[in-house]
Amino acid sequence: MIVNVILNPLVYLTEKVRQLSDGDLRTEIVYSDKDEIGVLASSMNKMIESFNRMISSIVTSTSNVTSSVDIMRARAEEMTEGARQQSGQAHQIATAAEEMSQTITDIARNATAASQSAEDAMQTATIGKEVADAAVTTSIKYTLLQ
C-alpha cells in the first residue's frame, strides 16, 4: 500500500514528463498533495508555463520580424521601381542632350556655310561694283570723247 502511494504518483509524473519530452506543452500536471511529489509537480507546471510564455514571446517576435521584413521588402521594391524610373529618365535626358549636341553641330555647320556664302556674295558684289564702276568710267569717257 505504501509502495502504491509513492509509485502511482511517480508513474503519473513519468507519463507527464514523457508527454513533455514529446513536445506536448499543453500537458498539465494535476497533483494537489503538498508532499515532495506535489512540490515537483508544481515546479513542473511552472516550468511548462514558463516554456509556454517563452514560446508565445518567440511567436510574437517572429510575427513582428515577419511584418518588418514585409515592410522592408515593399520599400525595397518601391526603391527599385524609383531607380528604374530615374534610370529611364536619365537615359531620356542623355538622348535629348545628344540630339541637342547634334543640332548645335548642324547649326554651327550651317552658320559656317552661311558665312562662306555671305563672303562669296560679298566678293561677287565687290567684283560687280568694280565692273559697274569700270562701265560707268568707260561710259563717261565715251560720252566725253564724242
CATH code of the domain covering residue 12: 1.10.287
Q: Give tens-digit pLDDT for 106-136.
A: 999 999 999 999 998 999 989 998 888 888 8
User: What is the pTM (predicted TM-score) of this model?
Assistant: 0.54
DSSP 26: T
Sign of the alpha-carbon dihedral angle for 38, 40, 43, 45:
negative
d(CA 101, CA 94): 10
pLDDT tens digits, 17-73: 999 999 998 999 998 888 899 999 999 999 999 999 999 999 999 999 999 999 999
Query: Total domain count for the chain?
Result: 1
What would the DSSP string read from start to end of 31-76? ----SHHHHHHHHHHHHHHHHHHHHHHHHHHHHHHHHHHHHHHHHH
Q: Residue 138 falls within a domain, yes or no?
A: no
Residue 144 lies in a domain: no
